[in-house]
Amino acid sequence: MSEPDERPLGLSLLIWFMAFWAGAAALVIAVLVAGEGPLPLSGRAVPRQEAIARIVPILAPMALAAAGAALALALDRHWARSAVLLPFALTAVAPAFTGVATSVLDLVLGVLALVPLVAVLVWYLYFRPGVVEYFRRLREEG
């Protein structure tokens, strides 16, 4: 198999961003597990075990999705564009399913903060001509 043309700079930066995101989430999980005492969650102090039970189900899938997206981009997989959007979707909806958001307004504001970022990512990954051509070549090469 021949090498695809050089990866666009934005994709290379996205690999680093996704890897950093995965590492930061893993570090937060490690600090949560290793610490002692109650944690502030949803505006009140809760026992550490309860906080871990509510936070880790959010952070672990996000860390895995971000690591998977970084790996897919680094390995030049044609489906990596979809993988990049998954951690952002998890960021938007996970607090609602785990009860970490303090109110519906907080949840809505969090989602609204992600909309511009996701819009830019979708434009870059699916409509920027150089990036679209890069992924088209990846798909053709197999």
43-50: average pLDDT? 87
- At 99 the pLDDT is 65
* Structural domain count, the chain: 1
- At 44 the pLDDT is 83
Q: Is the pLDDT of residue 90 over 90?
A: no
129-135: average pLDDT? 95
20-39: average pLDDT? 92
DSSP 8-state secondary structure symbol assigned to residue 37: S
Q: Which domain holds residue 78?
A: 9-141
29-45: average pLDDT? 86
Q: Is residue 129, in this structure, part of any structural domain at all?
A: yes
Q: Is residue 4, in this structure, part of any structural domain at all?
A: no
- Residue 15: how many other CB atoms lie within 10 Å: 20
- Residue 70: how many other CB atoms lie within 10 Å: 24
Q: How distant, in Å, are the alpha carbons of 36, 52, 80, 106 from that of 32?
A: 8, 7, 30, 23
Residue keyed to tokens 């920027």: 128
Q: Is the pLDDT of residue 52 over 60?
A: yes
- At 111 the pLDDT is 79
Q: Is residue 126, in this structure, part of any structural domain at all?
A: yes
Q: Is residue 2, in this structure, part of any structural domain at all?
A: no
Q: Is residue 74, in this structure, part of any structural domain at all?
A: yes
Given a contact cutoff of 8 angstroms between Cβ atoms, the answer to whether 129 and 101 are in contact is: no
Amino acid identity for residue 29 in this structure: I
- At 101 the pLDDT is 61
Q: Is residue 1, in this structure, part of any structural domain at all?
A: no
Q: Which of 4-13, 39-48, 76-85, 99-108 has the lowest mean pLDDT?
A: 99-108
Q: Is the pLDDT of residue 2 over 50?
A: no
- At 27 the pLDDT is 95
Given a contact cutoff of 8 angstroms between Cβ atoms, the answer to whether 111 and 52 are in contact is: no
Nearest alpha carbon to residue 97 among 65, 68, 62: 62
Q: Is residue 3, in this structure, part of any structural domain at all?
A: no
How confident is the model over 77-87, as pLDDT tens digits?
Answer: 999 999 999 99
Q: What percent of the chain has pLDDT over 70?
A: 90
- Residue 137: how many other CB atoms lie within 10 Å: 14
DSSP 8-state secondary structure symbol assigned to residue 1: -
Q: Is residue 62, in this structure, part of any structural domain at all?
A: yes
